[in-house]
Chain A
Amino acid sequence: MNKGEKILEVKDVTAGYGPVDVLFDASIEVNKGEFVVVIGPNGAGKTTLMRTIDGVLKPKKGKVMFNGENITGMDPSDILTKGISYVPQEGNIFTDMSVMDNLEMGAYTYEGDIQERLDMIFDLFPILKERLKQTSGNLSGGQRQMLAISRGIMIDPSLLILDEPTSGLQPNLVTDVLDSIVRLQEEEDMTILLVAQTEQAIPAADRGYLLRSGEIIFEAPTDTLLDNDQVMNLYFGG
């Protein structure tokens, strides 16, 4: 697949929890090599959208296409083998296991050279190399996020989905984590779909979607997003 070709297509997806729908006819597209951000206020359905793409939630309506293949309703473990890796906002590391075990579990289905992946990760997040034997539950917030992203990229995914990876981090760490994500896009040629909580994430992306009350209401390149009063009012309250 060439850069710029459509890699992910979410078409008119309606999904929710039990009888309650959270997402209504949502549609997004991500092209290969792109860094796409999904923004929206709390409760807009951002996480529900990511869970639906990854198979954690089965949509009630609509479909999810990946590399031209319909992956709607597949199990998360099968979707992973197709090349989509999902890093949830919470519960994104095995807290009782060591850093190294977390990385190994991230590569559970990976058939290539694991050492190569580890070298790439240690280059991206050198601190993890120093913490390999440490129980991951004892890591700091920033280190946890670094490990969560690393666990997600161990299989060398075609599409990396990150759900609010900078949530709860200090401002300087937010910059570090976002810089690492940009490096993944640029150096590893990884396609990124990111749910953003902070406006700092928007300039790093190529394009963005605004989600409100379960509906996609706006889609634009990120500079347009940042200039849009509606976005700024809705999302950042000013």
Chain B
Amino acid sequence: MLGSIVNGIILGSIITLGGLGISYILLIQNYFNFTGGTFFTLGAYLAFAFLSIIPMGSFPVVSFGPGLILALILSMIVLAIIMTAVDKFLYQPLRKRNSPFMFFYLTAFGMLFVLRSLIYLIWGPQLKNYISGVRKTYHLAGGINISPDEIFVVLATLIIVGIVYYFQYYTKLGKAMLATANDSRLAEISGIKNKHVHTTVTIIAGVLTATAGVFYGLAIQLRPIMGFTLLMAMFFAVVCGGDGAILGTLGAGLIIGITQEFGSEILQVIFDSTGIPIEMSGYKQVLAFLLLIVILTTKPHGIFQGTFLER
């Protein structure tokens, strides 16, 4: 049981980073980016592609080397460019025309299918890994099995969340983003160019999404639907964390990660003991959805303080 909680924390870290990417788009551009999960997958596969030409090398303790860090940085850059291009050519014209939000959702859905098809076309449906061979794992008390790579993912996530938190609440550009989210017209007459803010937000979302994808690939594995299967959990983190709230998204990400892992294990035990032939690993998203419904009906404004109050 303790092991599944630890797995939940690892998964929750990844959900947090992916959720923050979606959260930023929601905060500033006011629509749920359904393509977020597929960009997450693309980020992971881009790093995989870069690793085919960059030597991995080695670091002490963990199973990867500087090659993966370089591949991650390149993936961040390329994904940020792709997402910025998508924003410029698809969403910016919609914003200019004050199009209904349904248009944004339809565009996001369309992009989701286009990107997913491209990922299948380029990399195929097979599972892939950044590192081949058996990885070192620590076997701890309470049935906890954790690898140094997974510890790296959790610690790196906490550091990234700290950096994003500082950026958002203590830098001029971060505050300008909040001002735009609060009142974009007033922000514009205060000298904050909305266009620049939109571009900055898209770049940050690209960097966070690529990182989440690569961390998932490192801690688990790469598969074309990896981002899609986490989409509901990421939406949970965004909605329950408060759109744009950094610590809220972290808290909600960890809650949903632990709920999915721990909850599915508990339910599996119950189903096994009652003889119901259900394999819970395939229904983790259902748990995320159920928890989302419970939270939305009991705490419709989320479970944390929200973007403007969490500092």
User: Counting CB contacts under 8 A, is A105 at the interface?
Assistant: yes
User: Counting CB contacts under 8 A, is B88 at the interface?
Assistant: no
Q: Which residues of A contact B133 (CB under 8 A)?
A: none
B169-203 Cβ-contact flags toward A at 8 Å (1 or 0): 00010011011001101111111110000000000
Given contacts A95-B182, A96-B182, contact A101 B175 (CB under 8 A): yes
Task: Indicate which residue in A93, A95, A97, A155 contacts B191 across the interface (CB closer than 8 Å).
Answer: A155
A28 to chain B, nearest CB (A): 20
Task: Indicate which residue in B185, B189, B307, B308 contacts A135 across the interface (CB closer than 8 Å).
Answer: B308
Given contacts A77-B193, A108-B176, A108-B192, contact A94 B182 (CB under 8 A): yes
- The number of chain B residues with a CB under 8 A from chain A is 19
Are B183 and A76 interface neighbours, CB within 8 A? no
Q: Which residues of A contact B183 (CB under 8 A)?
A: 91, 94-95
A-facing residues in B133-177 (Cβ within 8 Å): 172, 175-176
Q: Which of A80-88, A168-176, A181-189, A194-202 binds B?
A: A80-88
Are B186 and A108 interface neighbours, CB within 8 A? no
- Nearest residue, chain A, Cβ from B173: A108
- Nearest residue, chain A, Cβ from B193: A77
A58-82 Cβ-contact flags toward B at 8 Å (1 or 0): 0000000000000000011100110
Are B185 and A108 interface neighbours, CB within 8 A? no
User: Counting CB contacts under 8 A, is A54 at the interface?
Assistant: yes
Q: Which residues of A contact B307 (CB under 8 A)?
A: 96
Q: How far is the CA of A104 from the CA of B179 in the complex (A)?
A: 10
Q: How far is the CA of A81 from the CA of B172 in the complex (A)?
A: 17
Determine the interface band of chain A, counting residues with CB < 8 A from chain B: 20 to 34
B175 to chain A, nearest CB (A): 6
CB within 8 Å: A-B pair count = 64
Task: Indicate which residue in A56, A93, A96, A101 contacts B185 across the interface (CB closer than 8 Å).
Answer: A56
- Nearest residue, chain A, Cβ from B185: A91
B286 to chain A, nearest CB (A): 35
Task: Indicate which residue in B186, B191, B193 contacts A94 across the interface (CB closer than 8 Å).
Answer: B186
Are B192 and A105 interface neighbours, CB within 8 A? yes
Q: Which residues of A contact B191 (CB under 8 A)?
A: 77, 80-81, 108-109, 155
A76 to chain B, nearest CB (A): 4
Are B308 and A97 interface neighbours, CB within 8 A? yes
A191 to chain B, nearest CB (A): 18
User: Counting CB contacts under 8 A, is A151 at the interface?
Assistant: yes
Given contacts A97-B182, A97-B308, contact A104 B189 (CB under 8 A): no
16 residue pairs A–B, Cβ–Cβ below 8 Å: A54-B189, A56-B189, A76-B189, A77-B190, A77-B191, A77-B193, A80-B190, A81-B191, A93-B186, A94-B178, A94-B182, A94-B186, A105-B175, A105-B190, A106-B190, A155-B191
Closest 7 CB pairs of A and B: A109-B191, A96-B308, A76-B189, A80-B191, A94-B182, A108-B191, A96-B182
